[in-house]
């Protein structure tokens, strides 16, 4: 199983990315492979001019296309998700999220724009044909403390609980969705035996 962690923050120091790092550790400890893709690692011109044929954009399309799941982290910018993330999502093929489970992680300065996940981000994920979008987590800045020196990042206890629950939901959905695939694989293995009967 493979999950793409997509960071939509243009900032070098990103609270959303701290949540993604936490998610990485969580998923890897359960044997799930992860890849981190950050919007800030792309050449801005390739994004703004929608260079569908650039190597980085083709890589992005392939990596997301092959993933089983996606965690999308974004800051709230002006009551919506980040424009940089929108530019990136615009470069993905229309049906790229078919058969994938998606978990949104959104950070904001205050809870005032809590609903940005529902009215701004989820419709775009639906346009990419995401079949299963989990409830997701909205975190306020005050609940995420940057790492200092050797100290790791710290999360408010209640936030940590919600993040853990959402990651558990993600893992459960991935396992559930991989069921039919396992069945198909079993069928493939059974086919030569059937033919020999
Ligand atoms: C340009 C800009 C616009 C922002 N607009 C909002 C906003 O409308 N509502 C809000 O709650 N926070 C807003 N914030 C605060 C960020 O959402 C918040 O600090 C977030 O955690 C940043 O995520 P990051 O550290 O992953 O980049 C804004 C921050 C910036 C820089």
Pocket test for ligand 1, best of 13, 76, 112, 153 (most atoms within 8 A of CB): 76
Q: How far apart are CA 101 and CA 177, in angstroms?
A: 9
C-alpha of residue 184 to centroid of ligand 1, in Å: 45
Average pLDDT score over the chain: 92
The band of 38, judged by pLDDT with boundaries at 50, 70 and 90, is very high
In this predicted structure, the answer to whether residue 97 has a pLDDT above a threshold of 80 is yes
In this predicted structure, what is the pLDDT of residue 197?
45
Interval 68-76 mean pLDDT: 98
Q: By the 8 A CB rule, do 73 and 5 touch?
A: yes
> Which fold would CATH assign to domain 2-196?
Rossmann fold (3.40.50)
C-alpha of residue 76 to centroid of ligand 1, in Å: 5
Within 6 A (CB) of ligand 1 lie 9, 11, 14-17, 75-79, 107-110, 112-113, 141
Q: By the 8 A CB rule, do 64 and 95 touch?
A: no
Which percentage of the chain shows pLDDT scores above 70? Answer: 91
Burial of 99 (0-12, 13-18, 19+ CB in 10 A): middle
Pocket test for ligand 1, best of 108, 110, 137 (most atoms within 8 A of CB): 108
Query: Which residue minimizes the CA distance to atom 31 of ligand 1?
Result: 77
In this predicted structure, what is the pLDDT of residue 191?
56
In this predicted structure, what is the pLDDT of residue 131?
87
Q: How far apart are CA 29 and CA 31, in angstroms?
A: 6
In this predicted structure, the answer to whether residue 85 has a pLDDT above a threshold of 80 is yes
The residue that leads in pLDDT, 188 or 38, is 38
Please state the atom number of ligand 1 nearest to the C-alpha of residue 74: 26
The residue that leads in pLDDT, 183 or 25, is 25
Interval 101-107 mean pLDDT: 98
In this predicted structure, what is the pLDDT of residue 184?
46
B/e letters for 54-69, b = 16+ CB within 10 Å, e = fewer, are: beebeebeeebeebbb
**C-alpha closest to that of 85 among 75, 93, 94, 98:** 75
Q: Which residue carries 């995420």 as its tokens?
A: 144
B/e letters for 136-168, b = 16+ CB within 10 Å, e = fewer, are: bbbbbeebbeeeeeeeeeebeeebeebbeebbe
In this predicted structure, what is the pLDDT of residue 98?
94
Which percentage of the chain shows pLDDT scores above 90? Answer: 86
Q: How far apart are CA 146 and CA 144, in angstroms?
A: 7
In this predicted structure, the answer to whether residue 181 has a pLDDT above a threshold of 60 is no
Write the pLDDT tens digit of every residue in 9-22. 999 999 999 999 99
In this predicted structure, the answer to whether residue 194 has a pLDDT above a threshold of 60 is no
In this predicted structure, what is the pLDDT of residue 170?
98
In this predicted structure, what is the pLDDT of residue 65?
96
Please state the atom number of ligand 1 nearest to the C-alpha of residue 112: 11
């Amino acid at each position: 199983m493979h999950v793409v962690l997509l960071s939509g923050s243009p900032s070098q120091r990103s609270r959303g990315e701290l949540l993604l790092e936490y998610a990485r550790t969580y998923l890897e400890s359960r044997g799930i492979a992860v890849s981190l893709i950050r919007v800030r690692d792309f050449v801005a011109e390739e994004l703004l001019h929608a260079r569908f044929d650039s190597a980085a954009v083709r890589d992005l399309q392939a990596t997301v296309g092959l993933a089983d799941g996606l965690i999308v982290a974004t800051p709230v910018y002006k009551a919506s998700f980040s424009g940089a993330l929108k530019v990136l999502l615009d470069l993905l093929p229309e049906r790229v999220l078919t058969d994938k489970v998606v978990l949104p992680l959104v950070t904001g300065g205050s809870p005032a724009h809590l609903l940005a996940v529902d009215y701004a981000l989820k419709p775009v994920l639906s346009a990419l044909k995401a079949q299963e979008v989990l409830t997701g987590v909205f975190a306020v800045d005050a609940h995420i403390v940057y790492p200092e020196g050797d100290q790791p990042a710290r999360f408010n206890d209640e936030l940590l609980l919600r993040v853990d629950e959402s990651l558990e939901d993600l893992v459960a959905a991935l396992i559930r969705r991989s069921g039919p695939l396992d069945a198909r694989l079993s069928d493939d293995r059974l086919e030569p035996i059937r033919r020999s009967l």
